[in-house]
Structure 1
Amino acid sequence: MAEIKKIAVIGTGVIGNGWIARFLAQGHEVIAFDPAEGAEQRTRKVIDQVWADLEKLGTAENASKERLSFVPTIEEAVKDAYLIQENVPEREQLKKDVLASIDQYAQSDAIIGSSTSGIMPSTLQAGLTHPERVMVAHPFNPVYLLPLVELVGGKETSEEALEAAKTFYASINMKPLVIRKEIEGHVADRLMEALWREALHLVNDGIVTTEEADAAIIYGAGLRWAQMGPFLTFHLAGGDQGMRHMLEQFGPALKLPWTKLEAPELTDELKEKVIEGCESHAGDTSITELEQKRNEFLVKLLDLVEDYWPESKI
């Protein structure tokens, strides 16, 4: 049986609750802090809703929803924690203030991971007493199902802290990807953002609807990417010679102005196209029902991915 570790979760919005669900499902004790009214009730409701999905994926022998407790201060939450996961809103000064409080009260060797999707760790760790244990630990929604977590160290993050974090996140069935250099937006979000910008252009120019753009990914590239990602997919496009032939034959096309690197202006007209398109596509299906369908799909898909890539390189 894996050692039970005490984990602190600061901020219990969508991402924070996702972390809590994953930590509990992997048998750990979670101490949560969120000053928002009704935070604990919302978190426990989320845990109840997603627990069946977690059980389908497989929970730890000692997993229990009862190992969650809320406390009234950051100090109480972090003082005995092995790892602290910060998930407050994406405002730089707010995150720095919260991390300063965590740094003040946490044990000196505790790992501090920020779920920030775009702020660089060097910015977050500046001025802290123990900046060497602070890093970005950026997950993807829904955190309780999707395994990728991007670990990004700042200028003062120690290799020991990064290695300890990598080991821990791997122990809760995640795929920790250690990013070699810190950049705004990290890696996966930058890749998704490029596709999102192009999709907005196609909708804005009247080439496709939002539903048609989604279909192009669902029934085309998305199916391949779920198994191999963009590079290995193109490696196959080169035939027996793989990427070498692919670049020779199709490389010159990269200079053709097919795509638009700049995002389109988010006008009221474009906003309405996107909003109305999504609402029309969803129809009478509620957000809760869409989330349930997504979770059922991801549970099945993750099993399939594991069948084909049982020994991932990350």
Structure 2
Amino acid sequence: MTRPFRTAAVIGAGTIGLSWTALFAAYGLTVRVSDPREDLAEAVADALEQYAPHLTARGLDVTGLADRVHLAADVTEAVRDADVVQENGPERVEFKKDLFATLVREAPAHALLLSSSSAIPSTAFTGALTAEDAARVLIGHPFNPPHLIPLVEVVPGERTGEDAVQAALDFYTSVGRTPVVERKEIPGFVGNRLQNALSREAVYLVEQGVVTPEDLDKVMTNSLGLRWATVGPFLGAHLGGGPGGYRHLVEHIGASMRDMGDGLGRPAQTPDQQERLIEAVEKAYGSSTYPELAGTRDRRQLAVLDALAAAGTTTMKEEN
């Protein structure tokens, strides 16, 4: 690695921050957590207990997991000796401006400063920082929950240094994640923009009475979800063209796909329509509690990860 990572500060202990905390500690880091929530100690303890079996299932030794996690009285205490900081605060530009002004002042000069921001590029909240401070700030956007979902979108800002980008790649790789560098800032980054495009059409189809929320989820989990878990949209399309590959697919059905794309819906989402959609989703899934639904999701995600691991880690290109 370009530098050692021994101590991590997790700023913000919501769903994402707690998941990061468990992951970092499972990989042997000392983790200091800061959050103004009054139940911080209970939330951290519950998360470590809940996530420990997941981490064990991924081959990690969770012995002494809680001993490596420490509650900090405030942000200053959390970042004082940090090699890396993972921020998980609210999605508000002004909040992040104030927080990162504190982070660059209080964290060691060598500390890598990462934000879990879901949509706001780092350039939007680092304008007031010096060039030296801005150089070590960038986005490290995970997918929920990050202790299970491997992807981390690494998005440098306009003034992020290349050494910080490489350090972020090294760090996330060292904790078992799959980092992908996105070289152009765009709101929402890549994963959430793809998710938003699909979600928009899903809402439209339900809104138009084409399908129920529950059956739409069945369509996804029994077709595209299975396919994309293994090959992704472009490789899936390349294979869809048969021996002729993506070129054959575009030449033969490209026009019809474009026509269908032109007709994709834009949900109206008036207050009444939005309320009907909420009620439809609650009817489909509201009989189960959040822990029950999240537990089912996590067990299924672990099963997919286990199946992919059993199938081998080599790429299709390498296999061929």
Q: C-alpha distance in 2, partners of 1:36/1:127? A: 28
User: Structure 2 matches for 1:1-314, cutoff 5 A?
Assistant: 5-60=6-61, 64-129=65-130, 130-258=133-261, 263-282=266-285, 284-308=287-311, 310-311=313-314
**Contact 2:55/2:62, CA 8 A, preserved across alignment:** no
CA distance in 1, matches of 2:34, 2:263: 43
User: Aligned equivalents of 1:52 and 1:61: distance in 2?
Assistant: 9
Question: Judging changes above 3 Å, is the alpha-carbon distance between structure 1 residues 300 and 182 closer, same or farther for their aligned structure 2 residues?
Answer: same
Offset at residue 62 of structure 1 (A): 6.5
By how many angstroms is 1:212 displaced?
1.4
Compute the RMSD of aligned alpha carbons.
1.8
d(CA) in 1 for partners of 2:291 and 2:57? Answer: 19
For 1:96 and 1:306, the matched residues in 2 are separated by: 40
More divergent stretch after superposition (291-300 vs 275-284): 275-284
Does the CA-based 8 Å contact 1:198-1:260 persist in structure 2? no
Question: Residues 26 and 62 of structure 2 are in contact (CA less than 8 Å); yes or no, is this contact kept in structure 1?
Answer: no
Worse-superposed segment, 153-162 or 277-286: 277-286
8 Å CA contact 2:56–2:62 kept in 1: the answer is no
- How many angstroms does 1:66 deviate by? 1.5
Amino acid at match of 1:80: D
> Where do 5+ consecutive residues of structure 2 fail to align?
none
Q: Normalised by the size of structure 2, how large is the TM-score?
A: 0.92
| One-letter amino acid of the structure 1 residue matched with residue 174 of structure 2 | S
| TM-score, normalised via structure 1 length | 0.94
Q: CA deviation digits over 1:158-207, x for unaligned, max 9?
A: 11011011011001000000111111100011001000000011011111
Cα distance in structure 2, aligned partners of 1:243 and 1:185 = 27
What is the CA–CA distance in structure 2 between the aligned matches of 1:261 and 1:97, rounded to whole Å? 40
Aligned sequence identity (%) = 38
> Cα gap change, 1:270/1:260 in structure 2, threshold over 3 Å: closer, same or farther?
farther
Pairwise CA distance, 1:263? 4.1
AA of the residue aligned to 1:15:
I
1: CA distance between counterparts of 2:291 and 2:38?
22
Q: 1:296 deviation in Å?
A: 1.0
Q: In structure 2, do the counterparts of structure 1 residues 262 and 193 end up closer, same or farther at CA, with 3 Å as the change threshold? A: same
Contact 2:204 2:265 in 1 (8 A): no
Equivalent residue pairs, number: 311
